[in-house]
């Protein structure tokens, strides 16, 4: 497999279609929502990513076919007064999993983060996604055993149906 990673070009219809296709595949997966992205979301997804001021989308290609994605957003560490890069979505099409695509996307995200002067990479992962957790640990993400009082949880409040 000829694997290549590059920043997505939102104006390129092939890239735009690849973004939607890979993210929809991830959404359908049990580690996603278990159902496809709604039609209206698929229609506005690329423009919304393009217009968001801190978006970085990396696409993985096998022989010019999009097979993986890292959707990242630049944030800020107030404790370090430096930017950080959050990997919001990391997804690989099922036939290409276990072939180093996710690791290549992580490497590319780290390279971009270092070029931007980021102090850290962040991401979240479901406890039950042992395969992804193993990849992230092997890549250097911390998964420490800590006292209950120092565990942080990602909370969300839905603002629309």
Q: How far is it, in rounded angstroms, from Cα 38 to Cα 138?
A: 34
Written out in words, the top-level CATH class of the domain with range 3-150 is alpha beta
User: Percentage of residues in the chain with pLDDT exceeding 70?
Assistant: 91
Who has greater pLDDT, 48 or 152? 48
Who has greater pLDDT, 152 or 53? 53
Q: How is residue 1 written in tokens?
A: 């497999």
pLDDT band for 151, please (50, 70, 90 cuts): low
Q: Is the model's pLDDT at 132 over the cut of 60? A: yes
Read off the pLDDT of residues 28-76 as tens digits, 9 standing for 90 and up.
998 888 999 999 999 999 999 999 999 999 999 999 999 999 999 999 9
Q: How is residue 101 written in tokens?
A: 């695509």
Q: Phi, psi at residue 2, to the nearest 5°? A: -90, 95
Strand pairing category for 65-77 and 55-62: antiparallel
pLDDT band for 1, please (50, 70, 90 cuts): confident
Summary mean pLDDT of the chain: 91
Place of tokens 């104006």: 11
User: Percentage of residues in the chain with pLDDT exceeding 90?
Assistant: 75
pLDDT band for 92, please (50, 70, 90 cuts): very high
């Amino acid at each position: 497999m000829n694997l290549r990673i590059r920043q997505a070009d939102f104006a390129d219809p092939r890239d735009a279609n690849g973004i939607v296709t890979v993210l929809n595949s991830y959404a359908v997966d049990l580690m996603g929502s278990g159902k496809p992205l709604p039609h209206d979301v698929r229609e506005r997804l690329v423009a919304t990513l393009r217009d968001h001021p801190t978006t970085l989308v990396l696409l993985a290609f096998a022989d010019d076919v999009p097979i993986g994605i890292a959707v990242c957003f630049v944030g800020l560490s107030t404790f370090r007064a430096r930017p950080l890069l959050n990997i919001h979505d990391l997804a690989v099409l099922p036939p290409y999993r276990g072939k180093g695509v996710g690791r290549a996307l992580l490497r590319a995200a780290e390279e971009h983060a270092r070029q931007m002067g980021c102090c850290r990479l962040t991401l979240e992962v479901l406890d039950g996604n042992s395969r992804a957790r193993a990849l992230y640990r092997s890549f250097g993400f911390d998964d420490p055993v800590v006292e209950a009082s120092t565990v942080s949880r990602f909370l969300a409040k839905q603002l629309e149906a």
